[in-house]
Chains A and B, each alone.
Chain A
């Protein structure tokens, strides 16, 4: 049969943003996929060079709008390293708690939209957003913003956590654990969900390492690599948790890895809340002229919901001279042509969905 070329996107409900895919199909079988990106490019790295250090978090938050705190935290962490500002002890624990809540919120949103994409319409979507709304409410009460928080300051936070912070975290963790336990009943016994994820989009271990993917996509292919364990930052080395690993590397395993990560995050939150010392968590206020940075180059990596993000920063005195971002979603998207070859055209959207891509971060 003749090969047909199909254009998907750039504005398409199935592509989770602004992605254009040029797909060559033979009948219903995918021969080749060519992703076209860059539709959201706005030159963040260049804009960040024109701002003072602590003006930039509002740019870094918009890199990953599903988990804004993750990039924000990585940037502030690297600025703290460049300026040599120590983080206060309670703030270390509070950051870990908020980051893990953010990770759960991100995975919940991913799960809701992913399941929606592959035809199990709206039940799981509503369930996931019900839980996510609780998390956003907590983050809003802690920081003051519903979606973009901008609450990180050098050495701590813009304000101290509310008085009942520990109780609320425990209550929310209990609620989430109870609700998340209901999901496998709905998904793993659903034949449509299983047929469309199991054995679809297989990424082999060697290919995953060669392509440089990270995060849940890498761990679903059988590689145990987690920046929280291999390069511990904050107080992750004091926490007891494991990085879930699966071996098949298909869409179902990527779902399982993210699902188990949510449970691990809940256990990290409980440990961190119990270990959190009382005290002042306020950081330095933002001033026109801040502390002066050391001239050493800074490289920081953190485990984000989508993978390992890296910031390479050459500091100037009051602003970054050059800043370069390694986006995990960009590298994860690069394996799409490889893993979607040979599957049906309808499977393309399970595969794109399972990679969990964010275009603001990919295009920068």
Chain B
């Protein structure tokens, strides 16, 4: 059980071996100077690693959000503005728009989702590497928006995918997307309002329950 907790590619046994090896090397290198070696530092490191690994993974995930380059309708224009000269999202590290879902973490659903596009959006979501996050950007992706009465519209992308953040507006300003991504970072770290479980994002909670 403890082995699994460490996560990552290392098992506990490998960790301990590396530790022993390191302490042996340090001991040898300190010998000529007549100094004594205290192994406490490394054992403490492994303790910290075991406890902190989950937080470190969350921190790493939250700081490398790669969005999928994918636009459906009007809001995609604001998505382009988000990456362009005025807002320049690259300075915060959000802008590594990728053409393939397999390299992406965040799907920004920008635009209305019709009945014929919904299966394709779902397939893209399934192709993304897990855990992946979904932002419903704009009224149409949130609830159907002005097309609520139309016969061909999915009334909100949350009927198809689990959504982490909803952004209101028609279309929302690019600054709102900035805010949404910062909020998503906070939620991935589990930092909202003291409720760790409620603060977790929808997709991350599923990932933890399913053990991904």
- C-alpha spacing A333/B121, complex, angstroms: 24
* B81 contacts across to A, CB distance below 8 A: 129, 133
Quick one: closest A residue to B74, CB to CB? Answer: A65
Chain B's interface size range is: 20 to 34
Choose one: B73, B74, B120; the contact of A11 (CB below 8 Å): B120
B70 at the interface (CB under 8 A from A): yes
Residues of B38-55 whose CB lies within 8 A of A: none
Whether A62 lies near B86 (C-beta < 8 A) is no
Q: Is the CB of A11 within 8 A of B147?
A: no
Q: With A39-B117, A40-B72, A65-B77 given, is the CB distance from A129 to B147 under 8 Å?
A: no
Whether a CB of chain B sits under 8 angstroms from the CB of A41 is: yes
Q: Tell whether A38 is near chain B: CB-to-CB under 8 Å.
A: yes
The residues in B between 75 and 108 inclusive whose CB is less than 8 angstroms from any CB of A are: 76-78, 80-81, 84-86, 99
Chain B residues with CB under 8 Å of A113's CB are 80
A18-B72, A50-B149 are known contacts. Are A39 and B116 too (CB-CB below 8 A)?
A: yes
Which residue of A18, A112, A127, A129 contacts B117 across the interface (Cβ within 8 Å)? A18
User: A339 CB to closest chain B CB, in angstroms?
Assistant: 25
129-165 of chain A: CB within 8 A of chain B: 129-130, 133, 146-148
* A47: chain B residues within 8 A (beta carbon): 147, 149-150
Interface residues of A in 96-143 (CB under 8 A from B): 109, 112-113, 125-127, 129-130, 133
Whole-angstrom distance from the CB of A351 to the nearest CB of chain B? 19
CB proximity to B under 8 Å, residues A1-17: 10-11, 13, 17
A-B contact count (CB 8 A): 82
B128 at interface, CB cutoff 8 A? no
Q: Which of A42, A59, A360 contacts B74 (CB 8 A)?
A: A360
In the assembled complex, B141 has its CB within 8 A of some CB on chain A: no
Tell me the minimal C-beta distance from A320 to chain B in angstroms: 16
Known A18-B117, A125-B84; judge A109-B77 contact (CB<8 A).
yes
Chain B, residues 151-182, CB within 8 Å of chain A (1/0): the string is 11100000000000000001101000000000
Instruction: Report the minimum CB–CB distance from B7 to chain A (whole Å).
Output: 33
For the complex, is A279 an interface residue (Cβ under 8 Å from B)? Answer: no
Which of B69, B74, B111, B121 has the largest number of chain A CB atoms within 10 A? B74
Which residues of chain B are near A146, meaning CB under 8 Å? 173
B85/A130 in contact, CB under 8 A:
yes
Residues of A within 8 A of B73 (CB): 17, 40, 62, 65, 359-360
B69 touches A62 (CB 8 A): no
Which residues of the other chain, A, contact B146 by a CB distance below 8 angstroms? 58-59, 62
Contact A42 B152 (CB under 8 A): yes
Residues of A within 8 A of B (CB): 10-11, 13, 17-18, 38-43, 47, 50, 58-59, 62, 65-66, 109, 112-113, 125-127, 129-130, 133, 146-148, 359-360
Residues on B facing A (Cβ under 8 Å): 69-74, 76-78, 80-81, 84-86, 99, 111-112, 114, 116-117, 120-121, 124, 146-147, 149-153, 170-171, 173
Given contacts A43-B151, A47-B147, A47-B150, 4 further A-B contacts (CB under 8 A): A18-B72, A50-B149, A65-B73, A133-B84
List the 3 closest A-B pairs by CB distance, nearest first: A129-B84, A65-B74, A130-B85
A-B contact pairs, 8 of them (CB 8 A): A10-B117, A11-B70, A13-B69, A42-B153, A43-B152, A125-B84, A126-B85, A133-B81
